[in-house]
Amino acid sequence: MVVVALYTQPSSALNPFDVADRVAIGGVGVFVGAAILALGRSRVDADASGIRVRNVVGGRTLPWEAVRGVRFDRKAWWATLELSNGDAISVTALQAVDGERAARAVEGLRALLEADRAARPAPARGPLLWD
């Protein structure tokens, strides 16, 4: 669209586009391009120390202690991290349309979460009221 806007000639009998139209066409092209790039920005990186999620807008880095579970429901469009404080974070990098690749990635995240839980000792519990 930007190329079309740059190469359209000024208004004539055969071309009804004036400067304002050319600027508008270019602006729409830039907007559409930015939207496509933003959708491709999603990413998830995980290792033994934690998980880094980058979605279309914003991102977060979390230690595995903050993650309660990794969900990918049948009807969901993408995976979700359930946090220990009750919140949930969408992981738009793992989408249902990716099929088997997304399923393997979710299994990998679950394996890292379980490995971290196995390495950490269970928190000490205080005495119960009836002890």
CATH of the domain at 112: 2.30.29.30
pLDDT value at 12 more than 60: no
pLDDT for position 42: 87
**What is the biggest distance separating any 2 CA atoms in the chain, rounded to whole angstroms?**
93
Together in a domain, 79 and 22 = no
> Is residue 131 domain-resident?
no
User: Does residue 31 sit in the same domain as residue 66?
Assistant: no
Q: What is the pLDDT of residues 85-104, one digit of tens each?
A: 999 999 999 999 999 999 99
Residue at 128 is within a domain? no
Instruction: Give the pLDDT band of residue 3 (cuts 50, 70, 90).
Output: low
78 & 106 share domain: yes
CB 29 within 8 A of CB 22: no
- Pair 91, 53: CB distance under 8 Å: yes
The total number of structural domains that make up the chain: 2
| pLDDT confidence of residue 38 | 80
Q: Is residue 126 part of a domain?
A: no
One domain, residues 88 and 70: yes
* Residue 104: per-residue pLDDT: 95
Same-domain status, 13 and 76: no
Average pLDDT over residues 68-80: 92
Quote the domain boundaries for residue 24: 2-39
For residue range 26-62, what is the model confidence (pLDDT) as tens digits?
Answer: 888 889 988 888 878 889 999 999 999 998 888 899 9
Structure tokens at 71: 């969900």
Q: Are residues 29 and 93 in the same domain?
A: no
Average pLDDT in the chain: 84
Cβ pair 52, 32 in contact under 8 A: no
Query: In the chain, pLDDT over 70 holds for what percent of residues?
Result: 85
> Does some domain include residue 16?
yes
Residue 115 lies in a domain: yes
Sheet with 50-54, side-by-side order of all strands: 43-47, 50-54, 59-63
Q: How many residues does the chain have?
A: 131
The answer to whether residue 13 scores a pLDDT higher than 60 is no
Rg (CA), the chain: 24
Kindly report the pTM of this predicted structure: 0.69
Tell which residue, 83, 78, 82, 81, has the closest CA to residue 103: 78
Same structural domain, 6 and 57: no
56 and 18, same domain (yes or no): no
Token reading at 62: 């979390």
d(CA 98, CA 77): 10
Nearest to 114 by CA among 56, 48, 44, 62: 48
